[in-house]
């Protein structure tokens, strides 16, 4: 990934936080038929190893768990908010007319080695944890016990677990850090005003302290 120094984000805790808040990752693998991408919600275990582990499950009918062998190198791309940025939002544009449109975004690339877990215990525990996490904000959280046991058993047999040991984390937070502070503020405020709160607030959070 092209990643100029002013857009680099290397703090592990910040990159883990993005993954935790935007867990739908694009798992990119390479097999005999070529490149493949699968969009999967991941669980991040940041306490394991130096950079953490990612865990997920895929449908048994999805051949990714057979084409990507245990030990293969894979890439998972996590993307947070993104937005178009108009040069009209830069105060300097109205003085010098030397600005062009751009696109701001935050992404994390997690490189790692995959392990396939085709066993019921792994997938049952994973599904239980994912369910508790994503149902926590619901007024009445759904639980696996809400469904008949035989139905849950059948559903679990239809999925396969995967685990990725993260070997490298690359973060790119493109938030107009290469612009004048006044232009960064102008673009952030314009995005917030039009409802793109995520990018706008991220741009404001990235402003130099004590400005």
Tell me the mean pLDDT in the region 128-156.
94
Q: How high is the pLDDT of residue 115?
A: 97
pLDDT at 93 over 70: no
Domain 5-84+103-180, CATH number (from 3.30.70.260, 2.30.110.10, 3.40.630.30, 2.40.128.20): 2.30.110.10
Question: What pTM does this model have?
Answer: 0.93
Distance separating alpha carbons of residues 31 and 67, to the nearest angstrom: 6
Written as six digits, the tokens of 137 are 């904000």
| pLDDT band for position 210 (cuts 50, 70, 90) | low
- Per cent of the chain over pLDDT 70 is 99
pLDDT at 211 over 70: no
Give tens-digit pLDDT for 17-70: 999 999 999 999 998 789 999 999 999 999 999 999 999 999 999 999 999 989
- Ordered by start, the domain boundaries in the chain are 5-84+103-180
Taken in order 39, 45, 49, 55, the sign of the CA dihedral is negative
**HEC-encoded secondary structure of 115-174:** EEECCHHHHHHHHHHHHHHHHCCCCCCCCHHHCCHHHHHHHHHCEEEEEEEEEEEEEEEE
State the CB neighbour count (10 A cutoff) for residue 117: 17
- 148's CB contacts (< 8 A; 6+ apart) are none
Query: By C-alpha distance, which of 127, 68, 87, 78 is closest to 107?
Result: 78
């Amino acid at each position: 990934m092209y990643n100029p120094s002013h857009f680099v984000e290397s703090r592990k805790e910040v990159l883990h936080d993005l993954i935790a808040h935007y867990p739908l990752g694009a798992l990119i693998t390479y097999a005999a038929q070529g490149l493949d991408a699968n969009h999967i919600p991941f669980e991040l275990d940041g306490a394991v190893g130096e950079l953490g582990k990612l865990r997920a499950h895929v449908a048994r009918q999805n051949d990714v768990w057979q084409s990507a062998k245990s030990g293969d190198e894979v890439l998972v791309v996590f993307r947070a908010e993104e937005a178009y940025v108009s040069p009209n939002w830069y105060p300097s544009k109205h003085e010098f007319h030397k600005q062009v449109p751009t696109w701001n975004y935050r992404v994390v690339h997690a490189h790692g080695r995959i392990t396939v877990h085709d066993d019921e215990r792994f997938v049952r525990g994973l599904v239980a944890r994912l369910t508790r996490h994503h149902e926590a904000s619901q007024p009445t959280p759904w639980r696996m016990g809400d469904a008949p046991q035989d139905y849950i058993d059948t559903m679990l047999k239809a999925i396969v677990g995967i685990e990725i040991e993260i070997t490298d984390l690359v973060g790119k937070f493109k938030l107009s850090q290469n612009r004048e502070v006044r232009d960064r503020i102008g673009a952030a405020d314009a995005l917030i005003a039009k409802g793109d709160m995520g990018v706008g607030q991220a741009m404001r959070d990235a402003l130099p302290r004590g400005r």
